C-alpha cells in the first residue's frame, strides 16, 4: 500500500473534479493537504471538511494561479502550516474551446496563462524548499490533447503539450537533487464537463477507446498517488497516460 504519512502536498485547483479526487486520495494515503481554488468557496469548504474527516490537516487557499505572487502565496501557506512541501500536483486548468478561425486572442491567452503559465509559477515557487530538502515529487496534470492534439482545442492542446515540455526540462534540472518531475495525461474522464457531452459524442469516444469507456477521477488520482510515492523514486521525466489506450505512443 502506498504510504504518504508525514508528507505535505500542494494540489492546485483542488476543490472539484480531478483535483479534488487527487487531494482526497493523497490524504487517504496519509498526506496533509494544501489546495488552491479560484472562486467556489462552498466547494472548497466541502473538500477541506472531507480531508479533515480523514484525520489529515488541510489548508484551502483562494488564489489565481495566473499570478506569480499567488503561486508564492500558496507555497507559503503550505510551508507555514506544515513546515515543508514534499509533493506538488499542478492540476489547475480551464478550457475555452473553439475552432482556430473563431478563437479569440483572449480565449487563447486565458488557457495558456492558467494551464501552462500557472503551472510554471507554482513549480518555480516550490523549487527552492524542495532543493533545500533535497527531495520532492512534482506531478503535472497534462492531457491526451497535449499528446495528440484535439480539434477545437488549439489553446488547450498547446498548453498541455507545453506542460509536457516543462515536465521534461524540470526533470533534467532538478533530478540531481532528488526531485522527480512527471506528468499524468488523462483521457476522457467522467467529470462535470464531460457529463454534458451529447450521447453521440460519448458513443464515439467509447468506440475510439480500446477499453471502451470513460475513465474516473479516482483512476487519475491513483496514478498521481503512485508517482508521489517512494515506489516511484526512480521515475522522472515521464508522461503516464491514463486514457484507456486512447493514445498509444
Q: What gap in Å lies between CA 65 and CA 80, rounded to an integer?
A: 19
How far apart are alpha carbons 49 and 56 in whole angstroms? Answer: 10
Catalytic residue among 37, 121, 156, 234: 156
* Local structure of 100: helix, strand or coil: helix
- Comparing C-alpha atoms, which of 230, 184, 190, 203 is closest to residue 90? 184
Of 234, 218, 174, which Cα lies nearest the Cα of 24?
218
State yes or no: is 222 an active-site residue. Answer: no
Does the CA dihedral 97-102-108-109 come out positive or negative?
negative
Q: DSSP string spanning 81-99?
A: HHS---EEEE-------B-
Cα dihedral 65→67→79→143 (10° resolution): 30
Residues serving a catalytic function are: 156
Amino acid at each position: 500500500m502506498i504510504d504518504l504519512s508525514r508528507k505535505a502536498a500542494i494540489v492546485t485547483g483542488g476543490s472539484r473534479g480531478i483535483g479534488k479526487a487527487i487531494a482526497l486520495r493523497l490524504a487517504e494515503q496519509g498526506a496533509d493537504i494544501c489546495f488552491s481554488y479560484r472562486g467556489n468557496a462552498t466547494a472548497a469548504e466541502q473538500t477541506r471538511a472531507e480531508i479533515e474527516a480523514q484525520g489529515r490537516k488541510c489548508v484551502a487557499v483562494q488564489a489565481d494561479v495566473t499570478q506569480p505572487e499567488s503561486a508564492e502565496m500558496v507555497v507559503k501557506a503550505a510551508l507555514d502550516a506544515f513546515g515543508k512541501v514534499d509533493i506538488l500536483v499542478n492540476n489547475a486548468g480551464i478550457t475555452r474551446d473553439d475552432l482556430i478561425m473563431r478563437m479569440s486572442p483572449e480565449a487563447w491567452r486565458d488557457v495558456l496563462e492558467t494551464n501552462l503559465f500557472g503551472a510554471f509559477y507554482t513549480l518555480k515557487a516550490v523549487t527552492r524548499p524542495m532543493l533545500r530538502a533535497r527531495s520532492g515529487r512534482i506531478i503535472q496534470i497534462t492531457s491526451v490533447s497535449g499528446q495528440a492534439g484535439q480539434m477545437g482545442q488549439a489553446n488547450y492542446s498547446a498548453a498541455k503539450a507545453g506542460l509536457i515540455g516543462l515536465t521534461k526540462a524540470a526533470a533534467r534540472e532538478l533530478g540531481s537533487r532528488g526531485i522527480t518531475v512527471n506528468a499524468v495525461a488523462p483521457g476522457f474522464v467522467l467529470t462535470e464537463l464531460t457529463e454534458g457531452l451529447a450521447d453521440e459524442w460519448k458513443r464515439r469516444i467509447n468506440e475510439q477507446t480500446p477499453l471502451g469507456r470513460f475513465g474516473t477521477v479516482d483512476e487519475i488520482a491513483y496514478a498521481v498517488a503512485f508517482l508521489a510515492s517512494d515506489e516511484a523514486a526512480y521515475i522522472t521525466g515521464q508522461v503516464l497516460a491514463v486514457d484507456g489506450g486512447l493514445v498509444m505512443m
